[in-house]
Structure 1
Amino acid sequence: MSSVEASLSRLLELPGVTGVSLIDAVTGLTYGDAGAGGSDPVECGRLAEFVETGLNAAGAQGELESIVITGSRRQLVVATVPRRGDPLLLTAALERGQANLALVLHHLGLYAAEVGA
């Protein structure tokens, strides 16, 4: 297990989190993942680019922070990791009935700050 995967696995301790990944938003390269139920890294990159383009067209200032996709039983959170070079995305798959979305977003933000530093 790589050090990235070991640090990602800490996020699996959060209630309802079933899988996490750290990916390159441009190439789709996966730097590490832990758990199960993740999503396609290339599609997450495309989704983040699409949403950010839409926000910018609507006049939003600043960069995209996160995207939450909610289904009846599962949720997907895609959070950006600010850094120089290609942007990174931190994704988390959640069991909706077990997860505390605010808590997960908070911990993803803390992890993103660690990785982006």
Structure 2
Amino acid sequence: MRRLLEVPGVTGAALVDAVTGLSYGRSGTGEMDAAECSRLVAFVGDRLHLAGAQGELESMVITGTRHQLVLRALPRRGDPLLLMAALERDQANLALVLRQLDLYAEGAAG
């Protein structure tokens, strides 16, 4: 996760259990409430399924005027994991951050 902090604009990263919100690791100073983010991802995923969406929720981007929060689901056997990254909006390249999270997810799965 520390490598994610090398991406310009990323102020914090965390890896949590997507069901319980239990934190497995955290780096940086970005403000992220792991349990609340887990509940939010579950809520949005449920609503997408009710609306007829197929497949699993992969990622979410929450954008504020100064900050962004990126949530990336990492499926696995048992409870899925949730990789979270806090960003300074004016310093971060969102596409680059999403790509780095995808690379992290590929490494975690393989």
Amino acid across the alignment from 1:112: A
Q: Percent identity?
A: 65
Match of 1:91 among 84, 87, 97: 84
Preserved CA contact (<8 Å) 1:76 1:92 = yes
Tell me, in whole angstroms, the C-alpha distance in 2 between the residues paired with 1:97 and 1:41.
24
- The DSSP-based 3-state class of the residue aligned with 2:54 is coil
The one-letter amino acid paired with 1:26 is: V
User: Does residue 41 of structure 1 match 2:34?
Assistant: yes
TM normalised by structure 1 equals 0.91
- Residue 60 of structure 1 aligns to a residue whose secondary structure is coil
Please say if 1:52 is aligned against 2:45. Answer: yes
In structure 1, the partner of 2:20 is 27
Calculate the TM-score normalised by the size of structure 2. 0.97
> Number of paired residues?
110
Quote the Cα distance in structure 2 between the aligned partners of 1:38 and 1:56.
29
Deviations 1:38-90 (A, max 9, x none): 31111011000001011101111000000100000000000001111101000
4+ residue runs of structure 1 moved beyond 3 angstroms? Answer: none
2: CA distance, partners of 1:116 / 1:28 = 20
Which ranges of structure 1 fall in alignment gaps of 5 or more residues? 1-7
Among 60, 64, 70, which residue is 2:63 paired with?
A: 70
| Structure 2 unaligned residues grouped into runs of 5+ | none
Q: Secondary structure at the residue paired with 1:54?
A: helix
2:61 aligned counterpart, secondary structure:
strand
